Amino acid sequence: MLDVINPATEAVIARVESDTEASVAKKFAAAKKAQVTWRATSYLERARIVERFRQLLADSREESAKILTSEVGKPLAQSRNEVNGTLARLDFFLAETAERLREPVVLHDQAGGMTERIAHEPLGVVANISAWNYPYFVGSNVFVPALLTGSAVLYKPSEFATLTGQHIAKLWREAGLAEGLFQCLVGGGEVGGWLLDQPVDGVFFTGSYATGKRIIEKVAGRMIRVQLELGGKDPVYIRPDVNVKVAAESTADGAFYNAGQSCCAVERIYVHKDVYQEFVQHFVAFTKTLKSGDPAADGVYLGPLARKAQLNVLEDQVRDAVKKGAKVLLGGERPAGGKGYYYPATVLTEVNHSMAIMREESFGPVIGIQKVTSDEEALKLMNDSEYGLTAGVYTRDGAVASKLMADLNAGSVYWNCCDRVSPRLPWSGRGHSGIGSTLSVLGIDTFLKPKAYHLRLPT
Ligand code: NAD
């Protein structure tokens, strides 16, 4: 059994039957069987079921948001944002996949001679092992295009987002998706491991670098499609020509939204010395206005962390930084007594790259702000990371921004914005941030196998 804990109260809110090695194998067999019919089903019929799923999610948006808040501690307004954003992603996938699947395409046709055409076939049965921080977003980035293109999905939500995973499975059933095509697997890493033991046709993983590395090592040699969306240590740079208050508030939101538990959360800030003091003042003043507390209550911006263990990670990072000379301007200590995995919004200055807080993913509401003296120094520091998910530049100067963005080693770059994902653009990481892309047309193609036809009419 798996206990589902509300991170705001530490109460067990549900007990759910975990999968076993045998049940995982059984679910794989059911998926394999169901996919044979699904791949032969017309795109229009597949899209009709996805449209129904979209409608059911829209109809149950409040319930869906409440379930999410109860198990991951995300403030309710942010859970609602995630559900609404998922509806927009569904719209994107429905429109774009229809376009993409207008196949087969005849590429070359010589009268009386050779015809060449290309067709796209579904991958088959895909394993979707997912993270808890945005279970609707990171899940739907995989299971929606996979189902639309004719694959079956074995979805293993994080053990910290089990109720949401089961809720999503229920919506698919109600939408009329045939049994076996979308199945939720309950459990933690062990269940994920059993899933990888099955002869799946693709592995689509969202989570930490450490787990991603284990996964790619486990399936190495099987020659199946593997996609890993991993962590980040995302930097932003503030040049002296900006509206400092606006930049400070924008980046504070990027750092503390969802208690900093976003893969693309701002994790490091470099500020030009000419506006450093002013930036820090505005940053701290704005951060103080962010209301923390019960994530189910109105107006709360900062809830608890989803996982108790992460509290120790944050404490260690802050302790290490302070030992090496950092100054804590805000937060830095867990509230004494009381229930829930709360950690306050924490702002550190006098930081440098000898400190874990500037190098290792924090995945919590802590931020280091470092002073720099030039664009060159900022660029060097921003690229000084094993990760490469996103990076942002705040400046009025478009030419400087373009040059810096071109030189940043990250899958997504931002100008005067941060912590942003768009369904129209590919979402990909470099280095320890992963391999492969979801979203955009690339995030549809990744679920397709091309087949090249060389056709000579009989004479
Ligand atoms: P995690 O690595 O702890 O777990 C991710 C998933 O892997 C869970 O479902 C877990 O049960 C499963 N798992 C764990 N061990 C496994 C094993 N040995 N074999 C198979 N499956 C296993 O990550 P998390 O705490 O759920 O998520 C947080 C991390 O995810 C952060 O690093 C964050 O940056 C990253 N993330 C990245 C993106 C992105 O798009 N790049 C999006 C969201 C989250």
For residue 214 and ligand 1, the question of a CB distance below 6 A is answered with yes
Q: How far apart are CA 155 and CA 186, in angstroms?
A: 9
pLDDT in tens, 408-435: 999 999 999 999 999 999 999 999 999 9
Which one of 154, 204, 211 would you pick to mutate in the ligand 1 pocket, going by the greatest count of ligand atoms within 8 A of its CB?
A: 211
For residue 363 and ligand 1, the question of a CB distance below 6 A is answered with yes
Q: Are 162 and 135 in contact (CB under 8 A)?
A: no
pLDDT in tens, 141-185: 999 999 999 999 999 999 999 999 999 999 999 999 999 999 999
The mean of the pLDDT values for the chain is 96
To 5 degrees, how large is the angle CA 313–CA 203–CA 95? Answer: 105
Q: Please give the share of the chain, as a percent, with pLDDT higher than 90.
A: 93
pLDDT in tens, 373-391: 999 999 999 999 999 999 9
333 is known as an active-site residue: no
Q: How far apart are CA 172 and CA 176, in angstroms?
A: 7
pLDDT in tens, 238-291: 999 999 999 999 999 999 999 999 999 999 999 999 999 999 999 999 999 999
For residue 203 and ligand 1, the question of a CB distance below 6 A is answered with no
In the reported structure, the alpha carbon of residue 209 is separated from the centroid of ligand 1 by a whole-number distance in angstroms of 8
For residue 434 and ligand 1, the question of a CB distance below 6 A is answered with yes
In this prediction the pTM is 0.96
pLDDT surpassing 90 at residue 115: no
For residue 158 and ligand 1, the question of a CB distance below 6 A is answered with yes
Average pLDDT value for residue range 398-402? 98
In the reported structure, the alpha carbon of residue 260 is separated from the centroid of ligand 1 by a whole-number distance in angstroms of 16
**Which residue among the candidates 159, 184, 263, 360 is catalytic per the annotation?**
263
Which one of 206, 390, 412 would you pick to mutate in the ligand 1 pocket, going by the greatest count of ligand atoms within 8 A of its CB?
A: 206
229 is known as an active-site residue: yes
- Residue 384 three-state SS: coil
pLDDT score, position 110: 72
**Which residue among the candidates 229, 267, 360, 361 is catalytic per the annotation?**
229
In the reported structure, the alpha carbon of residue 151 is separated from the centroid of ligand 1 by a whole-number distance in angstroms of 22
pLDDT score, position 45: 96
Cβ neighbors of 110 (< 8 A, separation 6 or more) are none
Both tokens assigned to 349: 């200055």
In the reported structure, the alpha carbon of residue 210 is separated from the centroid of ligand 1 by a whole-number distance in angstroms of 8
pLDDT in tens, 44-100: 999 999 999 999 999 999 999 999 999 999 999 999 999 999 999 999 999 999 888
In angstroms, the Cα distances linking 68 to 91, 160, 317 are 22, 10, 28
> Which residues on adjacent β-strands are paired with residue 438?
427
pLDDT surpassing 70 at residue 104: no
For residue 229 and ligand 1, the question of a CB distance below 6 A is answered with yes
In the reported structure, the alpha carbon of residue 144 is separated from the centroid of ligand 1 by a whole-number distance in angstroms of 19
For residue 133 and ligand 1, the question of a CB distance below 6 A is answered with yes
In the reported structure, the alpha carbon of residue 93 is separated from the centroid of ligand 1 by a whole-number distance in angstroms of 24
Amino acid at 236: V
pLDDT band per the 50, 70, 90 thresholds, residue 111: low
For residue 188 and ligand 1, the question of a CB distance below 6 A is answered with yes
Average pLDDT value for residue range 7-26? 98
pLDDT score, position 113: 80
pLDDT score, position 337: 84
Q: Are 351 and 360 in contact (CB under 8 A)?
A: no
Q: How far apart are CA 55 and CA 53, in angstroms?
A: 5
In the reported structure, the alpha carbon of residue 289 is separated from the centroid of ligand 1 by a whole-number distance in angstroms of 31
For residue 75 and ligand 1, the question of a CB distance below 6 A is answered with no
Q: Are 370 and 351 in contact (CB under 8 A)?
A: yes
Nearest atom in ligand 1 to 159's CA: 11
Q: Going by CA atoms, what residue is nearest to atom 15 of ligand 1?
A: 189
pLDDT surpassing 70 at residue 234: yes
For residue 240 and ligand 1, the question of a CB distance below 6 A is answered with no
